[in-house]
Structure 1
Amino acid sequence: MARAPGQIDVSKNEAILDAAVEVLAERGVTAPMEDIARRACVSKQTIYNHYGSKADLMRAVTARRVHEITASLEAPDAAEHPAEALADFARGMLGSILTPRSAAFMRMAMLGALEMPEVAAAIYEAGPRSTRRRLAEFLALETGAGRLACPDAQEAAEFFAGMVLGSYQTAALLGVERNLDAPAIERIATEAAARFMRAYAP
């Protein structure tokens, strides 16, 4: 089946997103699109045809990661097992910030925020804000079902994210003490979920 104008195949799209993360982690948000295109083995025009602007490309990069983090909240049995869904969500957040490439990407985005505020805003809207919004929607549904009691779901989402990330995110952004192994991540995720469930028990 022929692709619509401006549409690219999945493998090429993934190559572009991967290249964008790598190049921006190395050179920051001001890195030219030519470098991303070269790394992805596509033309610069191909990227612009599909995304339109660097801000749109960064939004897509960030949205892909958010989808991976929030997938547990959309699983078929997530609603009936909120503690497990929250623990999976926590594992995703910790895994994201502790990945050297992801941390470097966010670090460079922050460094380039003043120079390219539209790109920084796109990353924030598609990343942290979208993640918290999706979590808040899940908590609101659980509250409606009587499994949780979150009078302000958005605030509760911020509390949970803060409890999970703690100082680990700051350490990752600074490039120090990224030493959480799999058992530590598992312990933090399950404990955060358990404490949250007790705090917001109906």
Structure 2
Amino acid sequence: MVLTPRSAKKREQILQAAGKLFTEVGYAVSMDQIAEVASVSKQTVYAHFKTKDELFETCVKTRCESNRLHLHLKDDPRPVEEALLDFAIHFQNMMTSPTVMNTYRTAVSQVESHPDLGQAYLKAGPESTTQMVEEYFEYLQQQGKFASGKNMRYAAFQFMLMIHGQAVYWNTLGVDIEQSESEQREYLQSVVEVTLQSYLAS
């Protein structure tokens, strides 16, 4: 559906309001509250999004996509170790930010009653990011930098899970480990080293 500039603006207002309220209030937020913060009528909200599920799913996809745009690897001309370390730092910072963490918690809280939301979060966030890392590793393998015959999908999952680290896992439960920048860099550097030791070509 092609939106007029006015309609597109209202849709953006709704998404911004919904994203803010889903983060601050959680999934219990009402469409009336979203309409009020967006400065539109409830009818306008429903004209763009048939259900709250659809609105939340769109917010998740939009947020994940906006973050993912900054996570490029395949086009990074720097040495592998430097590119992976920078990616890891950016990713961990993104995951521990209040906005992203609250979106994750909201999605998890609705898994039993709204399983489609969890699937939408996985597809828009973890799955697409892991696939991007896998494609980068496959590229390195084709270039002869990573050993042939090894499963790059496994490598990508291992790398992604390791860079979450204590910082992300503790944060999901509301505990900030308060790591310094040097501590974060030291840990993520060790993750990169483990990955390269496991997969670099001899």
The one-letter code matched in structure 1 to 2:104 is: M
Match of 2:131 in 1: 133
Match of 1:8 in 2: 8
Match of 1:20 in 2: 18
Structure 1 runs not aligned, ≥5 long: none
Match of 2:141 in 1: 143
Task: Name which of structure 1's ranges 160-169 and 34-43 shifts more when overlaid on structure 2.
Answer: 34-43
Structure of greater Rg: 2
The 1-side partners of 2:124 and 2:194 are apart by: 28
Classify 1:188/1:65 alpha carbon distance in 2 versus 1 (closer, same or farther; 3 Å): farther
Match of 1:32 in 2: 30
Match of 1:68 in 2: 67
Question: Following TM superposition, by how much is the alpha carbon of 1:199 offset from its aligned partner in structure 2, in angstroms?
Answer: 1.9
Question: Following TM superposition, by how much is the alpha carbon of 1:39 offset from its aligned partner in structure 2, in angstroms?
Answer: 2.8
Structure 2 runs not aligned, ≥5 long: none
Please, what TM-score do these two structures have when normalized by structure 2?
A: 0.78
The 2-side partners of 1:21 and 1:103 are apart by: 13
Structure 1 consecutive aligned stretches of length 4 or more whose deviation exceeds 6 Å: none
Question: Following TM superposition, by how much is the alpha carbon of 1:47 offset from its aligned partner in structure 2, in angstroms?
Answer: 4.9
3-state SS, counterpart of residue 72 of structure 2: helix
The 1-side partners of 2:177 and 2:3 are apart by: 43
Classify 1:120/1:39 alpha carbon distance in 2 versus 1 (closer, same or farther; 3 Å): farther
Classify 1:118/1:3 alpha carbon distance in 2 versus 1 (closer, same or farther; 3 Å): closer
The 2-side partners of 1:65 and 1:183 are apart by: 27
Classify 1:28/1:120 alpha carbon distance in 2 versus 1 (closer, same or farther; 3 Å): farther
Pairs within 5 Å for 1:93-112: 93-112=91-110
Classify 1:51/1:135 alpha carbon distance in 2 versus 1 (closer, same or farther; 3 Å): farther
Classify 1:140/1:47 alpha carbon distance in 2 versus 1 (closer, same or farther; 3 Å): farther
Please, what TM-score do these two structures have when normalized by structure 1?
A: 0.78
Match of 1:117 in 2: 115
Question: Following TM superposition, by how much is the alpha carbon of 1:89 offset from its aligned partner in structure 2, in angstroms?
Answer: 2.0
Matched, 1:164 2:163: yes
